């Protein structure tokens, strides 16, 4: 089916709103044709992942949109950049890369994007209503938006995200279509111990396993007795989108499109049922640790996705009045940083040895020390997946409490399994 553009869309493509908007609309239309979309749909908002510096071409692309008078037509928040503009942390980017990264961040602000600089915009006030069509980038933000908020977006890649935001439209395909949001696979965790499912390590481990098993399909998790909380679902989605290509998951009785199993399946039979066993969980947890030396840590990092205020509360409680022997990097957004600074908690955490990283994170820009054979401990399934390739650090996975105890003692510490 050929793509049909409305008169308004054709006018934008022909320059009615300036060359920046015309270029954006042409990119969106070309993508729609490639994906076989019959039309474009209006969007309510966007979350932009393309503002992270990966090379000069990205900066020049953004600046060309600015030069063409481009402005976002909808609300558009920004994902992490390559620089911590708050000054909380420092990175080791060379001078040229640093300058181009800053130009890139400035260009996206000039396009009218909100300088949120977080991979968790949904915890910073950007929460589209259920059923709303949006164009979000960044894998964890996409999966949370679809799954937990019930809004509708595909995994929009760099530069397509800002093109959608400027044009105000997105291709009508994939997860925008109701029929493609049906769960086709069941991920049954009813055989796992309740003590594990209620533990803080469970959801990144489950998410990593889910992503490897499900791939890019839509599945539904069953066997959850109660709502695990937003931070747990955040961790599950981030790990599943990193280990697989998950854009939407359902949790029966928890997420908005799955009040029960039958509704998530659209009253059809599943193609397969994956019964999760303790052995599968043990294997998934082992896979998250890639360090050859499990007796050493050189850094601890948490906050991928960015830490919420509630997670900072937990971190502060775990540290107490103690000092850390190993630096703990806590990555977060400005929304959480404001809360920490309001009552002096930032200063107390930093005095204990916490390095707060805002606007960015340690796996997308060189913040961690450059150490041969270094080992990073983390409670994040997403960090565990990306850190070896992006930072050169081997990874040890543990709970937040294990991460804190390890940072205090300067060596890996593990609790007895519940």
> For the chain, how far is it from start to end, CA to CA, in angstroms?
55
Residue 418 pLDDT class (50, 70, 90 cuts): very low
The CATH number covering residue 168 comes to 3.30.499.10
d(C-alpha 225, C-alpha 196), whole Å: 12
Same domain? 213 vs 87? no
105: in domain: yes
373 and 229 co-located in one domain: no
| Whole-number Cα distances in Å, 139 to 42, 153, 163, 355 | 21, 11, 18, 25
Asked if residue 282 and residue 344 are part of one domain, the reply reads no
Please give the helix or strand (H or E) that residue 52 lies within, else none.
none
| Same domain? 323 vs 352 | yes
Residue 323 is predicted with a pLDDT of 98
pLDDT value, residue 200:
87
**Domains in the chain: how many in total?**
3
The pLDDT of residue 127 is: 98
Domain stop point among 228, 257, 286: 286
Q: Are residues 213 and 303 in the same domain?
A: no
Tokens 């049954």 map to which residue? 188
Q: Is residue 350 part of a domain?
A: yes
Residues 377 and 314 in one domain: yes
CA atoms of 204 and 303, how far apart (whole Å): 12
Tell me the per-residue pLDDT of 25-52, one tens digit each, with 9 for 90 and over.
999 999 999 999 999 999 999 999 999 9
Query: Do 298 and 198 sit in the same domain of this protein?
Result: no
pLDDT in tens, 175-210: 999 999 999 999 999 999 999 999 989 999 999 999
Q: Is the pLDDT of residue 167 over 60?
A: yes
Residue 1 included in any domain:
no
Mean pLDDT of 304-308: 98
The domain boundary, picked from 177, 198, 226, lies at 177
pLDDT above 90: residue 125 = yes
Does 97 fall in a domain?
yes
- Structural domain boundaries enclosing 57: 7-177
The DSSP code sequence of 54-123 is SSHHHHHHHHHHHHTT---SSEEEE---SS-TTSSS-----HHHHHHHHHHHHHHHHTT-B----S-GGG
């Amino acid at each position: 089916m050929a793509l049909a553009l409305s008169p308004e869309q054709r006018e934008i493509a022909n320059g009615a709103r300036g060359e920046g908007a015309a270029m954006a609309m042409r990119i969106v239309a070309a993508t729609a044709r490639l994906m076989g979309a019959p039309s474009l749909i209006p969007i309510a908002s966007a979350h932009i992942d393309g503002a992270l510096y990966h090379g000069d071409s990205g900066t020049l692309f953004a600046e060309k949109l600015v030069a063409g008078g481009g402005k976002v037509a909808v609300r558009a928040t920004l994902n992490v950049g390559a620089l911590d503009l708050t000054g909380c942390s420092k990175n080791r980017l060379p001078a040229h890369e640093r300058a181009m990264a800053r130009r890139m961040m400035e260009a996206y602000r000039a396009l009218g994007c909100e300088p949120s600089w977080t991979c968790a915009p949904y915890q910073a006030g950007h929460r589209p209503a259920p059923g709303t069509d949006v164009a979000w980038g960044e894998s964890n933000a996409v999966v949370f938006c679809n799954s937990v908020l019930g809004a509708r977006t595909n995994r929009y890649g760099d530069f397509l995200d800002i093109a959608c935001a400027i044009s105000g439209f997105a291709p009508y395909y994939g997860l925008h279509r109701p029929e493609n949001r049906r769960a086709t696979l069941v991920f049954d965790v009813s055989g796992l111990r309740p003590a594990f499912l209620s533990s803080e390590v469970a959801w990144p481990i489950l998410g990593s396993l889910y992503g490897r098993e499900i791939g890019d399909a839509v599945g539904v998790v069953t066997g959850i007795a109660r709502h695990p909380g937003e931070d747990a679902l955040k961790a599950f989605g981030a790990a599943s989108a990193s280990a697989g290509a998950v854009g939407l998951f359902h949790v029966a009785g928890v997420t908005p499109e799955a009040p029960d199993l039958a509704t998530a399946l659209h009253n059809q039979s599943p193609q397969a049922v994956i019964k999760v066993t303790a052995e599968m969980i043990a294997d998934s947890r082992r896979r998250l640790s890639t360090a050859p030396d499990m007796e050493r840590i050189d850094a601890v990092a948490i906050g991928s996705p960015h830490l919420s205020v509630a997670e900072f509360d937990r971190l502060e409680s775990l540290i107490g009045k103690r000092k850390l022997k190993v630096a703990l990097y806590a990555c977060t957004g400005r929304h959480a940083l404001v809360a920490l600074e309001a009552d002096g908690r930032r200063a107390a955490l930093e005095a204990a040895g916490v390095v707060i990283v805002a606007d960015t994170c340690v796996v997308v820009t060189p913040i961690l020390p450059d150490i041969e054979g270094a080992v990073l401990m983390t409670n994040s399934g997403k960090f565990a997946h990306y850190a070896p390739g992006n930072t050169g650090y081997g990874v040890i996975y543990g709970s937040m409490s294990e991460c804190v105890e390890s940072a205090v003692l300067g060596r890996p510490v593990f609790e007895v399994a519940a």
